[in-house]
Structure 1
């Protein structure tokens, strides 16, 4: 049986535990008076408001240094990569079987929709041979590039882009880089890695990329811009059929980099093609 002293000690412990949460004699809650709680809450309110203000001020100053249309730092990709259409680096098809090359034809036709002559008529007929500078113009104009300039690879006279006759066309373009102005006279040159060279046709003539399509001013203010294209028609013969051919295309004739071993697509692209007879 518990003694009177044990009961008194138990009652005292319960009372001490309750007083640690709220002490009715001193008015303390969790060991602090209302005034103490008010002061510490006021301190943290001022402290976090100061931090929020410093963060907002820092963001505002940083945003003042940015341009909505031009990235602040553009040194990661100083030179453009080369891109191929159809969007495939390994192509194989039977020239006598339309479903086998239909995907390539469809890809090319879809890609060239923006280059239709009817759409390009609304763009500027720029003088060739020099940059089309528009630094002070609020709205940037676009130089005209008609798909008819691609001749036999335009898909207009030959809707199969040469795939049905075993002489396929591929389209090449450079990636967009804001402010790029290539020096020299850039053009595309393709070679096949085999003993006997393969004849090729380039459209426009000699695979030239006219400087009037540069510079590019960015997606926001140069919304309708289209890259100039170079079409390459591979004039394959019977000796070239049933073989996997590796074709490498490079941007030549300018200061654009095309031999960086760390990036195989910088100024060049390699694709493989196999035509089955």
Structure 2
């Protein structure tokens, strides 16, 4: 007889085995997957071919004969339009420039932005001239600038120019070729660099050359001359070349670079006759154009009709 435990225990169910697929069904599934992959690859190829064909058709479509989206007649019309359009613009620009140039004078600017009153400048070109007169290397740069400036004033060159009437304007409005009045370098005498190649710098008595800026058509009234003063309690001895610092009217008016290519403006040289008591002391010099209607007292422009510089000779 069986025991009560054995009677109470239920018989265990054995796990069911999954039905195995037959080999034929597995083959069919593999075939289906392969077909799906093939279809995907075909679609990719078709898309790639379509893209290539679309790019090729964009550059040239043999079916419609279009090049870059336009037929030959369309391209011809648009090129003709732009040719006419830009040709018209070029013609308008050329005509405008030609009309404007007809209103200009090749010798005198139509609109001058320069002031009617000239400024004064000095050579050597320095606001402060400081040197030791016993050392050539200290002032060599200054005398070089003076020699360079006076090259165009050499007597051999100026003798080729005309002798003009002293104290009279040299007006040449109706003459196509403007003559140039003589201004010889030798007129500056001790400050010409001819008898003394150091322009007085070796002796501690430096020469300063003052010139007036060129202004086309300027005819200063009166009898213009350069006057220099030292800003100190006692007057400083100076010597002018030409005498009295005259700017003769025969050098006016000036007709411009094209009409007056060989023109040389008049200059005035002033030699500072410094003594040993003046050495090692900074001297402030102001030079003005006087004796004329030209302005020399404009506070807004310290170079209009005047120039200020400093000189210090070391011992």
* TM-score for both structures, normalised by structure 2: 0.80
More moved, 132-141 vs 67-76: 67-76
Residue 3 (1) aligns with residue 39 (2): yes
**1:95 corresponds to:** 133
**2:148 corresponds to:** 110
**2:275 corresponds to:** 237
Counterpart-to-counterpart distance in 1, 2:47 and 2:263: 85
Give the number of the structure whose alpha-carbon radius of gyration is greater: 2
Offset at residue 18 of structure 1 (A): 4.2
Counterpart-to-counterpart distance in 1, 2:283 and 2:68: 81
Task: State the SS of the aligned residue for 2:223.
Answer: strand
Q: What does 1:172-183 correspond to in 2, within 5 Å?
A: 172-183=210-221
Q: What does 1:246-257 correspond to in 2, within 5 Å?
A: 246-257=284-295
Offset at residue 143 of structure 1 (A): 1.1
Counterpart-to-counterpart distance in 1, 2:45 and 2:242: 105
The 1:68–1:6 alpha-carbon spacing in structure 2 relative to 1, beyond 3 Å, is same
**1:193 corresponds to:** 231
The 1:8–1:129 alpha-carbon spacing in structure 2 relative to 1, beyond 3 Å, is closer
RMSD: 2.3
Offset at residue 50 of structure 1 (A): 1.0
More moved, 6-15 vs 234-243: 6-15
Residue 157 (1) aligns with residue 195 (2): yes
Structure 2 spans left out of the alignment, 5+ residues: 1-36
**1:27 corresponds to:** 65
Counterpart-to-counterpart distance in 1, 2:187 and 2:159: 13
Counterpart-to-counterpart distance in 2, 1:76 and 1:117: 32
The 1:20–1:163 alpha-carbon spacing in structure 2 relative to 1, beyond 3 Å, is closer
The 1:24–1:207 alpha-carbon spacing in structure 2 relative to 1, beyond 3 Å, is same
More moved, 188-197 vs 173-182: 188-197
Task: State the SS of the aligned residue for 1:247.
Answer: strand
Residue 129 (1) aligns with residue 167 (2): yes
